[in-house]
Each structure stands twice: as structure tokens, then as C-alpha cells.
Amino acid sequence: MIYRFITGLALRYPAWVLTCWTALLVICGSAAISLPSLLKDHGLRTEGTSAQVEQILSEEYQIPKEPAIIVFQRESGTSRASFESGIRTALEQLRRIDGIGAVISPLDHKRMRDNQAAYALLGLDTHGRSDESVLDAIRSALPDSPGLTMTLTGKPFVQDDVNRASMHDLKRAELIGLPVAFLILFYAFGGWIYALIPIAAGCTAVGISMGILYWLGNGLQLELSNFVLNVIPMVGLALGIDFGLILVSRFREEWWRSSGRVERALPVTLRQAGRAVLYSAACVILGLIAITFIRMPMFQSVAIGAMVVVFVSALVNLTLVPAFLSIWSPLIPIQRNYPTGTGRFRPRLMQRWTRYVMHKPVRMTLVSAALLLTSIMPIRHLQTSVPDAASLPSSYPSRYGAELVDFRFNDPFTSVIPVVVLGRGDTVSAEEWASAYGLWQKLRTDRDVLRVDSIFSYLPESLDRQGLLSSSQMQQLPQSTGQPFAQAGALLMSVTLQPGMDAKQTEDWLRKWETQGQNERDIRILLGGEAKYRMEVSDEIKARIPSVLLWMAATNFVVLFAGFRSIVIPVKALLMNLLSLTASFGVLVYLFQDGVLGGGSGSIAVMIPVFIFGMVFGVSMDYGVFLLSRMTEVYHDTGKADEAIAYGLTSTGKVITSAAAIMIAVTLPFAGGDVEGVRQLGVGIAAAILIDATLIRFMLVPALMKLMGHVNWWLPHQLRRWLFTE
């Protein structure tokens, strides 16, 4: 019913369809230009104790939350007095900026300076101003002080650099990907008009989707991760062009068979290829819904954005592309050398390959399985981490500044864990003070702890460390006692772990003290810090993965079962997707984690495997559905399994190859980007598509289908009668 309606719309009112989409593109495109201004940080945040500790440190101890950092370096020949004077002048300038809250000066804290360098913390309090404008104001306000070098870093400046780098990566990838995609389409179709239609569909889908995301972010206050800026164009262009390729390719075949009669070619195209597009889009969206199960802004905003662009891509290709075909096709002469309708096979390379696979199914199964196993093996060593300043190239000032602070002012190879001790009331009672003292002693004697800084560390021996200090007594203590470690209702302890502890050992220590802290009498302890934050992000993802996988497998099985009326085909398609995805993760480990492809960061960004799995799991269905739909179409017509398999592989070979090449052309240029996570995503998707379109679709799937024969379309007769009306 829906295909008839779309066909009638495209045939009767193609100009109106084209006009409506053009108007929508203009409206949404104008909004899309402002999308970068709404992007926040990466969005890897949880509601765990690390966020609570960060809030307490900000409110009770005036330690800025996610502060900007200015690093001062003393040049040779500059006196100490001139160095400190330059710092004082710079901070006075910065305090005048609207949007700067607390300023913590190194001149007031010895641990924030040494003989050659110092750093200050700037709390941002934007009051409705955009973060970008405040950061630009900070850059402009820095004075030019002789003998003094100033570098801006901290999470706000790192994220600002990531946003700028993402925009640069996107423009460069589009400049490479779109021309290459056009050349592939030109080769596939042998003409520029048909080649332009999928390109126009992909660009239209991306422009409209980014405008919709702007309205979602601005109107509904949806928090948008900066990763959206790369993921949406990457997915939109790849899928939009691929969907267009499938439709245009089938239309040209039906158009030739109908001797150039659009009114006959278009209905068949939408009924067959349009159905494949619809099922593919459904599989992708269902996979993306699963990503929203992970309760962090990054995953939810990227998944919502990707769902929007997939839906718009499908809608554009099912309405705008038929309108284009209805308008332009009558102007193009029919190719006399197009394949005949009497013969199922074309005497070309794809036919020869099909015959080889059909005659050697066992050999092809073993060869493809061996190659897949080789690609999968490195996944055993997969390590993930939360991206930080190291995800930027070393030439970026924000990364240099962050590394400089770590090198000069943080203990090497150690983790610092802030521990907040809370009482039951607004003030710390005598019993609670004694319990906190006992906790401090336990932490000091822990073999994994290097030192514990707290108010107990600085109290003179003459004072009763287990006794209660009143507010007036605390005010009378000298500053050297570490007075900032105690507030009326909370105590702060800074725990430095032993050098050399790796991430797993640090995580074990955190879990141990989380459990032990629940057993403390009279007090409640909260663990925070970067290590705790990273552990919470990892825990949230690991906890949600089973439900994500279950949802994706169940929903995709239902969609494929409804489309192919078979139990075996959906199960096999899910297993093939799983193989191609795990193989792509092995490629990522080899190229990035082991450092073969530059970088050598030692880990994969924690969100990359999830994004690749969620997007590619559905995207690879695009090829699978297209291939299997042609096989099923012939099988239902002839009842011959071998003929259906051979014809499906032969007739879709060029389209699948072109579609995969386009997907790779659109995603692989991101591998040359500046942001490490974007590079990993681009390579990961390209690797998954390459493996899926070669080892899986051209070798393993047809070989297995040949071996299984009619079993591929097996469905119990009673179940068929009950579910499907013939």
C-alpha cells in the first residue's frame, strides 16, 4: 500500500515533491549552520559518586568544577620577581572577564608552582554566555609579558580544541569522500545524472538532519555531544548514498526491461529495492535504539542524532529519489547493451566468481573462516579508556599544557583519589570525628597508598586528633594545618596511590574501599577523582552491554524473519554481522592500540566499540538485506535454491561492491583527522564494511547458503500458515 502511494506521488507530482524537499533543506540548512554552537563536551558522564564529590568540592571547598587552567613558564634569564609579577598581572586581567568565577592563584598555593613553572585554576561561571565566548575572551585577555610563556588547557579548552578539530576533520573528509563517492557512482552507472542522484539524496538527508538536531538541542534542551558533529555526516552520507545507489541501480534494470516506461519501472523498484531500504533502515534504527540504553549523554545524543539521519535518509530515498527518477529518466536514452531479461547470468567477472564459489563451497567457507579468525585474534588484547587531552595531536596547546601540568606537578604514575567524609548532620560530631580519624589511620596503613593528606596530617601533636574541633577552634588554626581539608559538615582526604599501579589495580582498590566505606560507623564516604570517574563510565557501559546485545539480536531477528519468512536466514545474518564486527575490532587493536597506524595510544576510546557495533550492525544489514532479498525473490519464483543463490550473488555483486566502496570512501577519510576517537571510528567502520562486503557477503554467506540449500528458507508449515497469509 505504501509503495503504491509513493509511486503515485512520484509519478503525478514529482515537481511538488522536489519543491517540498528543497524548501525543507533551506529551512533546516540555515539552522544546521548554528549546530556547532550547541555542542557540549564529549558527554561521558554518569551519576556516580565522582560527580557528587566534584559538586561538593565546588560548593564547599571552592575548588572549581572542570576548571580552565593557565600554565605559566618562566623563560631563561627572567628573575623570580618578574615571573611572579607576570602571573599576578595576568590573573588580575582575567578576573575582570564576565564569566570567570573563582580564580585559584599559584602565588597562594605552593603546590601549584616551582622554580620554572606554575599553574592557575579558573572557574567558569558563564551566566547565560556561551562557553566558547568566555574561552575566546580569556585568550584575548592574556597580556604579552616578557620572559613569561602562558598556555591554556583544562577540560574547557581541550573540548574547545576537540570541537574545532572536529569541524576541520568533517570538512576535510567531505572534500575527499564526496568526490570519490561520485566517481564510484559514475563508474557504476556510466553517467553523471544517475551518479548525482544518490549524492543529492545523501547531502539532503545530512543537511535536514543537522537542522532537526539543532532544534532538538535548542528547543528541547537536548544535551548534544561534540561527537555528533562527525557521526551524523558520516552515517548520513554513507547510508543516504548507499540507499540511493540501491534504488537507482534497481530502477535502471527495471527501466530497461520495460523499454523506458517509468510508470512500469518505478513501482517494481519501490516494491523490491524500496523494501530492502525500508528493512535496512529499520535494522539500523533498532540497533541505535539499543545504544540509548547506556545512560550517558554521549551515547544517547549520538544515538538520537543517528536515528534522525537514518530516518530522514530513508524518507528522502523513498520520496525524493523516485521524483528525481521520474523527472530525469525520460531524458536519458536506453542503453542497448544492458543485460537481457532472458538470461539470469552475465558473462562477467562476477559470474565467474559466483560459479567458483558455488563449485567450491567448503573451500570458500574454510578460507573465509581462516581470514576472519586471523582478524579476530587481536581482540583478546582490547583495552578501552576514556578520551582525554591525549586524543588531540601533540601540536595542540591544550594537550601540551595538560602534559606539562602532569609532568611538573603530579606524582609520576600515581592516581590521586579525593575522599569526602560526610556526617549525619550539618556539623561533624565527636563520634563522627573519631570515625574519620580511624578511617585516616586505615588509609595510611594501606599498602597501596603512598600518602594521605587531610586535616589530621597537619594537626599538632598537642591537639587531640580524635577530638572535635569547633568552628571557632578551626578558625584559630594556622594555615599550615591544612584548614581547607575541613568544613562544617564534611572532611576531605586526598589519597595518593603508590606509583606503578595500573588501571586494573587502581580499580580494585576503589572497589575495595567502596565496599569497606559502607561498613564505616557514623560516617559516609564518597570516592571521587579521575580514576573513579573512568571506572564509573566503564561500569555503566559493561552493565548495559547485555541488554544492548539482546535488544539488537531480538529486534533484528524479528525484522528479518518478517522480511524473508525464514528462521535460518535471520540467525545466519546475525552471526555473520557478529563475525564482521569482531574482526573490525581486531583490526582496530592492531592499528591503533598497538601503534601500527601512528599514535599508538595504547587503548581504544571507550565509546568507539559501542558506536561501531550499534551503527555497523544495522548498516551491514543494508548489504545483507539487498543480497538476500534478490535471492529470496528468485527462490519464491522458481523454487530452486542454487539458481536463487547464484542469481542473487551475480545480480547484486556490482551494487554491493559499489555501496561498500562508497561507505569506505565516506568514512575512511576521517582516519586522517586530528581527534583520535574520530580516527578510530572512521577506520573501524571502514574495516567492518570492507570485511562484511568481501569475506562475508562474497565468500562465507553464498558458500554457506550453497551448502544448506533449501534449508535456508525453512519455516515450519504450521507457523507459516499462522503468521503469513499467502
Q: Which residues of 152-176 are buried (b: 16+ CB within 10 A; e: fewer)?
A: bbbbbbbbbbbbbbbeebbeebbeb
- C-alpha closest to that of 76 among 111, 119, 117: 117
Domain edge (last residue) among 109, 141, 160? 160
Q: Are residues 622 and 706 in the same domain?
A: yes
Residues 225 and 331 in one domain: yes
- State the pLDDT at residue 222: 83
CA–CA–CA angle 97, 98, 101 (5° rounding): 85
**C-alpha to C-alpha distances, 306 to 313, 481, 618, nearest whole angstrom:** 10, 54, 12
Domain-embedded: residue 80: yes
Amino acid present at 75: E
Residue 100 forms part of a structural domain: yes
Do both 132 and 276 map to the same domain?
no
Q: 605 with 718, same domain?
A: yes
pLDDT of 335: 55
Confidence (pLDDT) at 70: 94
Cell of 398: 591544550
Q: Is 359 helix (H, G, I), strand (E, B) or coil?
A: helix
Domain span at residue 663? 349-381+566-725
Q: What pLDDT is recorded for position 120? A: 93
The pLDDT, as a whole number, for residue 59 is 81
- Provide the residue type at 466 as one letter: Q
Give the per-residue pLDDT at 639.
82
Helix (H, G, I), strand (E, B) or coil at 671: helix
Model pLDDT for residues 246-262, shown as the tens digit of each residue? 888 888 888 888 877 88
The three three-digit cell numbers of residue 306, written as one number: 543517528
What's residue 342's pLDDT?
35
Write out the E strands in 469-546. 490-497, 524-527
Q: What is the spatial distance between Cα 683 and Cα 664, in angstroms, rounded to a whole number?
A: 9
* CATH number of domain containing 240: 1.20.1640.10
In a domain, 182, yes or no: no
- The model's pLDDT over 314-355, given as tens digits with 9 standing for 90+, comes to 999 988 998 888 888 766 655 545 544 434 444 467 778 888
- pLDDT, position 305: 92
Q: How far apart are CA 249 and CA 627, in angstroms?
A: 13
Tell me which residues of the chain have a pLDDT lower than 50: 336, 339-347, 468, 470-483, 600, 726
Tell me whether residue 450 is in a domain.
no
Which pLDDT value is given to residue 331? 66
Co-location of 362 and 317 in the same domain: no
The per-residue pLDDT for 334 is 54
Sheet holding 68-74, edge to edge: 100-104, 117-124, 68-74, 148-154
Regarding whether 604 and 657 lie in a shared domain, the answer is yes
* Separation CA 489–CA 421 (nearest Å): 9
Question: 267 and 284: one domain?
Answer: yes
Instruction: Examine residue 662 and state whether it is found in any structural domain, yes or no.
Output: yes
User: In degrees to the nearest 10, what's the CA dihedral of 205, 211, 212, 214?
Assistant: 140
- Integer Cα distance of 95 and 137 in angstroms: 11
What's the rounded Cα separation, in Å, for the pair 684 and 586?
9
Residues 341 and 361 in one domain: no
- Residue 198 belongs to some domain of the structure: yes
Q: Which of 290, 320, 345 delimits the end of a domain? A: 345
Q: Which residue has the cell 599508538?
A: 600
Distance from C-alpha of 304 to C-alpha of 286, rounded to nearest angstrom: 11
Answer yes or no: pTM beyond 0.85: no
Identify whether the C-beta of residue 465 lies closer than 8 Å to the C-beta of residue 433. no
Distance between start and end Cα atoms, the chain: 16
- 70 pairs with which residues across the strands? 120, 152
19 and 73 assigned to the same domain? no
Locate 326 and state its grid cell.
521520474
Same domain? 249 vs 299: yes
Residues 538 and 526 sit within 8 Å (Cβ to Cβ): no
What does R_g of the chain's alpha carbons equal in angstroms? 31
Nearest residue to 245 (alpha-carbon basis) of 652, 682, 717 = 652
Q: Say whether 120 sits in a helix, a strand or coil.
A: strand
| Number of domains observed in the structure of the chain | 3
Judgement on whether residues 114 and 252 belong to the same structural domain of the protein: no
| CATH code for the domain in which residue 100 is found | 3.30.70.1440
Q: Which of 319, 345, 371 is the C-terminal boundary of a domain?
A: 345
Taking the C-alpha atoms of residue 303 and residue 614, their distance in angstroms, rounded to an integer, is 9
In a domain, 359, yes or no: yes
Distances in Å between the Cα of 515 and the Cα atoms of 41, 415, 508, 511, 524 are 31, 19, 11, 6, 11
- One domain, residues 198 and 341: yes
Is 528 part of any domain? no
Would you state the cell numbers that stand for residue 209, as one nine-digit string? 538532519
Please state, in angstroms and rounded to a whole number, the distance separating the CA atoms of residues 17 and 198: 16
Contact 48, 532 (CB under 8 A): yes
